[in-house]
Chain A
Amino acid sequence: EDQVTQSPEALRLQEGESSSLNCSYTVSGLRGLFWYRQDPGKGPEFLFTLYSAGEEKEKERLKATLTKKESFLHITAPKPEDSATYLCAVQAKEWMDSNYQLIWGAGTKLIIKP
């Protein structure tokens, strides 16, 4: 069964303390893995798409990497404004023309203390 598991459920860090969030998945033939950030009371905000193992993408203090079984979101020297829930999603069944239903992880709630 296709599945996405994120860990840890919650992570508390001091400002400047780097760490990583994990997204492990089981899906036959990965076509795309997505990372989103969600702030309280807001919709998920798109961060990255990763398409194949070995791929890396960076944006400010965030770096996403992908292997055949999992993805990591590395946060370097985080600031309090990086506090949010980070969601991971992978494609499941194909609808048409490379458009897929997504399976979502439950998210990691990240809290950065000043």
Chain B
Amino acid sequence: NAGVMQNPRHLVRRRGQEARLRCSPMKGHSHVYWYRQLPEEGLKFMVYLQKENIIDESGMPKERFSAEFPKEGPSILRIQQVVRGDSAAYFCASSPRAGGVVQPQHFGDGTRLSIL
């Protein structure tokens, strides 16, 4: 399967714990995006990364949230000291280098985070 892979699919954490969400982009894609989706709501942009670089993190809360996309391995979205309000579906998307034409983003099936 050459699609965007996210794991885990479901993650349960207690308040105050850390959550780590992983995303492997599609083969050949160098751009990774993280989104958050609440039930019955649209996608909210969080952060855009390229290898070893955060390009835009304007949608990500300044505290407790961080993201990385290392030279080797998957992209990681990390949430420290989780609170009930962090419960949501987190989606990762990837796209190839645009090269002058706007390219669509391709999504994984998300990680559903539940905070007890």
Q: Which residues of A contact B (CB under 8 A)?
A: 31-32, 34, 36, 41-46, 49, 51, 87, 89, 91, 95-102, 104-107
Interface string of B25-68 (1 = CB under 8 A from A): 00000010000000001111100100000011000000000000
Contact status B31-A43, CB under 8 Å: no
Contact status B104-A46, CB under 8 Å: yes
Question: Inter-chain contact count A-B, CB under 8 Å?
Answer: 65
A106 to B107, CA, bound (A): 17
Chain A interface, DSSP helix/strand/loop, else mixed: strand
> Which of chain B's residues has its CB closest to A4's CB?
B42
Contact status B41-A101, CB under 8 Å: no
Contact status A41-B99, CB under 8 Å: no
Given A49-B102, A98-B102, A105-B42 contact (CB < 8 Å) = yes
Q: Which of A43, A49, A95, A100 has the most CB of B within 10 A?
A: A43
Q: Which residues of A contact B43 (CB under 8 A)?
A: 44, 87, 89, 104
Q: Which of chain B's residues 8-30 have a Cβ closer than 8 Å to chain A?
A: none
10 contacts between A and B (CB under 8 A): A31-B102, A42-B110, A44-B91, A46-B104, A51-B102, A95-B55, A98-B100, A98-B102, A98-B103, A104-B44
CB proximity of B76 to chain A, nearest CB, Å: 18
Contact status B42-A98, CB under 8 Å: no
Q: Which residues of B contact A49 (CB under 8 A)?
A: 102, 104
